[in-house]
Amino acid sequence: MGTTMKIRRLGKDGPEVSALGLGCMGMSFSYGPAGDKKEMISLLRTAVERGVTFFDTAEVYGPFINEELLGEALAPLRKQVVIATKFGFKLDPSGGPKWIGLDSHPKHIKEVAEASLKRLRTDVIDLFYQHRVDPNVPIEDVAGAVKDLISEGKVRYFGLSEAGAATIRQAHAEHPVAALQSEYSLWWREPEAEVLPAVEELGIGFVPYSPLGRGFLTGKINENTKFDPNDFRSNLPRFTPEARKENQALVDLLAGIALRKNATPAQIALAWLLAQKPWIVPIPGTRKLERFDENIGAVAVELTPGDLLGIEEASAKIKVQGGRYPESLQKMTGK
């Protein structure tokens, strides 16, 4: 295929993984109707053949069906891959397809771990993230529960998602955090202020989700794009037609560099993230093999210091329009 996958380590003492992982949420959830199961299994197995060893899912994706999909697809390849999943949502007890709040009580964390192990058809979860910080449970208790699971051999590494710097420090003091997963891309750079310096200082890896701005930075979406009613993006302030029209400037910037580098805008956006730090491992998601191949091609794109400076200067003049989440979801991040 031409792309030789590179390897990175998540944090000082974390797992070694492919430089790009695969975010699997969209295969089952959030971006319109779920993908065809056979096709998704084939894509997951092809990803391993192409050198991707890092796969990201969560209990709440579906709920449950995304973990089951990964379990089925990766069971024959289990020794070759690192699987990350997440706990921390309270699901509708009536079995409805929705979460109704947060729950990171230690008892709940342990129940989720048992259920996720079954769905993932494995005896160990490589990386277990708290999906969102639960204001009702001290982070030391959360870290303690995961520490217990690690000592029982059910989990290898502890992770946090969308946590703020103070929470990261408190958790890490209780049990080493291997990775922090948060949104980060050329159009959401908030982690640069406090979170990236904190994880660098503590030796924690960083896993950017939505590294392509939920697809926007690929250049395949414009102000006229129509989203499926089940598509999460139809509710995001940043994806109103007006915001998309304004935000096109960022895609145009990437397209200009892509042309020079014989690459695509998506590859430039991913290469930019990879160039930020050697312990950053983006997890772009896709359901299409050609998009997957395009994404992993980013590891071969070399951005020079001059290219990076050019991106910095040009993007500084572009004000991204629209919040990344509606208020209710934004409140759950950065705690």
pLDDT in tens, 279-319: 999 999 999 999 999 999 999 999 999 999 999 999 999 99
Strand partners, 188: 185
Q: Please indicate, yes or no, if residue 334 is contained in any of the structural domains.
A: no
Average pLDDT over residues 100-128: 97
Q: What is the CATH number of the domain that holds 149?
A: 3.20.20.100
pLDDT at position 96 is 66
With vertex at residue 326, the alpha carbon angle to CA 322 and CA 330, rounded to the nearest 5 degrees, is 100
Confidence grade of residue 1 (pLDDT, cut at 50, 70, 90): very low
Cβ within 8 Å of residue 2, ≥6 positions away: 297, 300
Q: Please indicate, yes or no, if residue 166 is contained in any of the structural domains.
A: yes
Residue 79: give the domain boundaries. Answer: 7-216+276-302
pLDDT at position 205 is 98
Q: Please indicate, yes or no, if residue 333 is contained in any of the structural domains.
A: no
pLDDT at 2 over 70: no
> 61 catalytic, yes or no?
yes
Question: pLDDT tens digits, residue range 63-103?
Answer: 999 999 999 999 999 999 999 999 999 998 876 668 889 99
**Does the N-terminal peptide bond of residue 176 adopt cis geometry, omega within 30 degrees of 0?**
no
Name the token pair of 214. Answer: 């939920």
Residue of 61, 129, 157, 209 marked active site: 61
Q: Please indicate, yes or no, if residue 231 is contained in any of the structural domains.
A: no
pLDDT at position 18 is 98
Q: Please indicate, yes or no, if residue 228 is contained in any of the structural domains.
A: no
pLDDT at position 230 is 87
pLDDT at position 185 is 97
Q: Please indicate, yes or no, if residue 39 is contained in any of the structural domains.
A: yes
pLDDT at position 34 is 84
Helix 305-316 vs helix 265-276: crossing angle, to nearest 10: 110
- Cut 0.85: pTM above it: yes
Confidence grade of residue 248 (pLDDT, cut at 50, 70, 90): very high
pLDDT at position 189 is 95
Percentage of the chain beyond pLDDT 70 is 98
Average pLDDT over residues 196-214: 97
User: How many folded domains does the chain comprise?
Assistant: 1
Query: Cα–Cα distance between 268 and 253 in angstroms, integer?
Result: 10
Helix, strand, coil fractions of the chain, as percent rounded to 5: 45, 15, 40
Q: Please indicate, yes or no, if residue 332 is contained in any of the structural domains.
A: no
Q: Please indicate, yes or no, if residue 263 is contained in any of the structural domains.
A: no
Query: Cα–Cα distance between 40 and 95 in angstroms, integer?
Result: 24
Question: pLDDT tens digits, residue range 15-31?
Answer: 999 999 999 999 998 88
Query: Which of 168-182, 289-303, 320-334 has the lowest average pLDDT?
Result: 320-334
Query: Which of 104-118, 153-167, 237-251 has the lowest average pLDDT?
Result: 237-251
Query: Cα–Cα distance between 4 and 306 in angstroms, integer?
Result: 25
